[in-house]
Amino acid sequence: MDAQFWKSLIQLLIFLPFILFLIYLLGKLTNKFYISPPGRYMKIVERLQLSKDSFIMVIKIGDKGYLMSSSNNKTEILKELTEEELLKAEQNGKQYYGTNFNNSSNFVTNLIRKNHKK
Distances (CA, A) of 46 to 6, 24, 28, 55, 109: 50, 22, 16, 10, 11
Both 42 and 29 in one domain: the answer is: no
Both 63 and 112 in one domain: the answer is: yes
Residues of the chain with pLDDT under 70: 1, 31-40, 93-118
Both 83 and 106 in one domain: the answer is: yes
Both 77 and 98 in one domain: the answer is: yes
The confidence score (pLDDT) of residue 111 equals 66
The confidence score (pLDDT) of residue 22 equals 92
Total domains present in the chain: 2
Q: What is the pTM of this model?
A: 0.51
The confidence score (pLDDT) of residue 7 equals 92
Per DSSP, the three-state class of 80 is strand
Rounded distance between C-alpha atoms, residue 80 and residue 57, angstroms = 12
Q: What are phi and psi of 72, to 5 degrees?
A: -60, -35
> pLDDT tens for residues 80-98?
999 888 888 888 766 544 4
Domain that holds residue 56: 37-117
